[in-house]
Amino acid sequence: MHTNIVTRYGSHPDDVKNYDTQKLRDHFLIEDIFQDDKITGVYSMFDRYIVGGIAPVSKALELETVEQLKAEHFLDRRELGIINVGGSTKVTVDGTDYQLGTKEALYIGSGAKEVVFHPSTEGQAYLYFNSAPAHTSFPTKKVGLDDAEKVELGSMEESNHRVINKLIVNSVVESCQLQMGMTQLKPGSVWNTMPAHTHDRRMEAYFYFDLAETAAVCHYMGQPQETRHIWMKNHQAVLSPAWSIHSGSGTSNYTFIWGMAGENLDYGDMDKVAPTDLR
Ligand SMILES: O=C[C@H](O)[C@@H](O)CC(=O)C(=O)O
Ligand SMILES: [Zn+2]
């Protein structure tokens, strides 16, 4: 077995008010997402979302089923979204090869049986993945950055100038619940998702990358009038329950991947919070 997926239960916002730094990190932060020749991650009880990393170095890694699923194959009742944050690599789905360059995505529909992740021929392959329960099977599809629906938001003056690349969204690829994309901050801009928002219909997970060794992102979570923060480094992910804002400010610019699942596939379904209303 090269796969290790650990279970995390949901948290009530009234309970989270009493979490200290370590407890907050234990429940929401995912620190070591890429481990050599391993598939690791978290099975969250927030919408049964799985967040993880795949790091093939010396051998190809097959997507194994895990105990939590009680299914013969990982994707028997699930869909999978992958974004490559490392060197170019190849993913084989039931015998078909998909070449994934850096920052390219692959959607794999439920029912796929044999999924194999290959090492990169030009560096290290780091495949970040999210998975959600699926009620039907949609076709597997590669989504490059050119295929993304792009939205430019913010401004240099507000330190939040960024481009949102919607990769796995219903205008680009059919999915049951899963939505994923990648937001790139312009040099000099440090704030993501400000003004912040919640969306009670969906949970979300963020994964920060393109950060220098010495840089950090302060990630904000919690109910809008009861916020907390988690200091994060490169290649770390964080869970955001439906009741929580999810926003960050970095010591430099960075890129991050967002992924969501829940009640609808409406990216714009957000309840925005004015910065002056946050507590
Ligand atoms: O629900 C949507 C997600 O939180 C992100 O797409 C927000 C984001 O990338 C940003 O504003 O920078
Ligand atoms: Zn959101």
Q: Are 245 and 227 in contact (CB under 8 A)?
A: yes
Domains identified in the chain, total number: 1
Residue nearest to atom 7 of ligand 1 (CA): 193
User: Cα-Cα-Cα-Cα dihedral of 80, 123, 87, 187, to 10°?
Assistant: 120
Which among 164, 219, 272 is the best mutation to test ligand 1's pocket, defined by most ligand atoms within 8 Å of the CB?
A: 164
CA of 186 to the centre of ligand 1 (A): 15
Q: Would you say 154 and 117 are in contact if contact means Cβ atoms under 8 Å apart?
A: no
- Provide the domain limits for residue 62: 3-277
Ligand 1 pocket, Cβ-based, cut-off 6 angstroms = 162, 164, 181, 183, 192-193, 199, 204, 246, 258, 270
- Looking from the CA of residue 199, the nearest atom of ligand 1 is 1
**Which pLDDT tens digits describe the chain residue by residue (279 residues)?**
999 999 999 999 999 999 999 999 999 999 999 999 999 999 999 999 999 999 999 999 999 999 999 999 999 999 999 999 999 999 999 999 999 999 999 999 999 999 999 999 999 999 999 999 999 999 999 999 999 999 999 999 999 999 999 999 999 999 999 999 999 999 999 999 999 999 999 999 999 999 999 999 999 999 999 999 999 999 999 999 999 999 999 999 999 999 999 999 999 999 999 999 999
CB-count burial class (<10 Å; 0-12, 13-18, 19+) for 98: middle
- Please tell me the distance from the alpha carbon of residue 240 to that of residue 247, in angstroms, as a whole number: 10
What is the spatial distance between Cα 254 and Cα 214, in angstroms, rounded to a whole number? 12
CATH code at 138?
2.60.120.10
For ligand 1, what atom is nearest to the CA of residue 240?
4
